[in-house]
Amino acid sequence: MIQVRSYAKINWSLRVTGKRADGFHDLETVFQLISLHDTLTFTESDRLAVTCDDLTIPTDDRNLVVKAARALGVDRVAIHIEKRIPSGGGLGGGSSNAAATLMTLSKIFSLREPLEPIALELGSDVPFFLAGGTAYATGRGEVITPVPEAPELPLLLVLPKERVSTAEAFRSLRRFSPPLGIEAYRDMSHFTNDFEEPVFARFPQLRAWKEKLYALGARWAAMSGSGSTIVGAFAGVSSRDAARSAFPDVRTETAAVLRGATRA
Ligand code: C5P
């Protein structure tokens, strides 16, 4: 039996720079791996069997863990997913599970195939999870350059009940942003998220929560990915924990910035 953590991500910044001929969009983003995680347990089995403690998550061929195992040709393993990362929250939970499955099965079965191309077929965010840490990314999100590690600011995640479909969020964009280039991201004042405008227009409460995080002392606050999670980064654990208690009616999680690569 092997247990691995499958970590979530946030986006420090996310610009959508154009529509591509293949139907996807080009991005310019800064990804950050964080400590909030699902746990995947791999055990021997005579067939491929995926289970999940969250019964709202499909465990058939729609599940990215199933797709990842099939993409590697592995059909003799049971994988149990303990879900902590909400889906539809812009935290990359499914993509992270897929990357963790690719890395773990590749190790268990001593596979030699490069994982990056398989990862990108599974989803645009999956290649980042093979790398981890803090990363600047372009293309669909797979052209990855590691950048200096982010400061270890304690994070508060506000997890609204409203879920956002990534495909719908892309369709709701009214304009594209020119890329700023990697150097611009040395300066936090350049961090933006192009999905905030359309998603906040639909769910005004999310904008209010972002503003509330700033009012509670956050050094930085923004939506993650295409939403709906709102993240605040605080100078210390005590101000972060005080802010958490100001959100009694919505699910919140605390997390830490994870530094360095996680690949075994
Ligand atoms: O790649 P992934 O499966 O995560 O993408 C989900 C949907 O989001 C895609 O089907 C596409 O509509 C949109 N998307 C996009 N450009 C990207 C990433 C995602 O248009 N770079």
Ligand 1 centre from 119 Cα, in Å?
Answer: 13
Q: Domains plus CATH for the chain? A: 2-146 (3.30.230.10), 155-255 (3.30.70.890)
Location of structure tokens 């990842």: 68
User: Quick check: 262 pLDDT over 90?
Assistant: no
What are the pLDDT digits (tens) for 134-158? Answer: 999 999 999 999 998 888 999 999 9
What are the pLDDT digits (tens) for 2-23? Answer: 999 999 999 999 999 999 999 9
User: Quick check: 260 pLDDT over 90?
Assistant: no
CA–CA distance, 249 with 85 (Å, rounded to integer): 19
What residue owns the CA closest to ligand 1's atom 8?
167
**What pLDDT was estimated at residue 263?**
47
Mutate to test the pocket of ligand 1, among 170, 172, 173, 195 (most ligand atoms within 8 A of CB): 170
| pLDDT, mean of residues 27-52 | 98
Q: pTM here?
A: 0.96
User: Quick check: 264 pLDDT over 70?
Assistant: no
Q: Taking Cα atoms as reference points, which of 112, 130, 108 lies closest to residue 121?
A: 130
Cα of first residue to Cα of last residue in the chain, in angstroms, is 17
Q: How many CB atoms lie within 10 A of CB 264?
A: 8
Nearest 10 degrees: CA dihedral of 20, 132, 91, 102?
80
Confidence of residue 261 (pLDDT cuts 50, 70, 90): low
Atom of ligand 1 nearest to the CA of 19: 20
CA–CA distance, 52 with 79 (Å, rounded to integer): 9
* Beta-sheet pairing, 134-139 with 77-82: unpaired
What residue owns the CA closest to ligand 1's atom 14?
24
Q: Is 19 a catalytic residue?
A: no
Atom of ligand 1 nearest to the CA of 140: 21
Q: In 109-236, which residue ranges form alpha helices assigned H by DSSP?
A: 116-122, 126-131, 166-171, 196-202, 204-215
Task: Say if CB 159 and CB 86 are below 8 A apart.
Answer: yes
Q: Which of 38, 67, 125, 194 is catalytic?
A: 125
**What pLDDT was estimated at residue 183?**
96
Indicate the average pLDDT of the chain: 96
Strand order in the sheet with 251-255: 220-223, 230-233, 155-159, 251-255
Q: Which of 9, 67, 194, 210 is catalytic?
A: 9
Per cent of the chain over pLDDT 70 is 98
What are the pLDDT digits (tens) for 60-97? Answer: 999 999 999 999 999 999 999 999 999 889 999 999 99
CA–CA distance, 124 with 256 (Å, rounded to integer): 24
User: Quick check: 245 pLDDT over 70?
Assistant: yes
Confidence of residue 201 (pLDDT cuts 50, 70, 90): very high
**What pLDDT was estimated at residue 6?**
98
Q: Is 125 a catalytic residue?
A: yes
| CB-based pocket (< 6 A), ligand 1 | 24-25, 27, 123-125, 140-141, 166-167, 170
Ligand 1 centre from 158 Cα, in Å?
Answer: 23
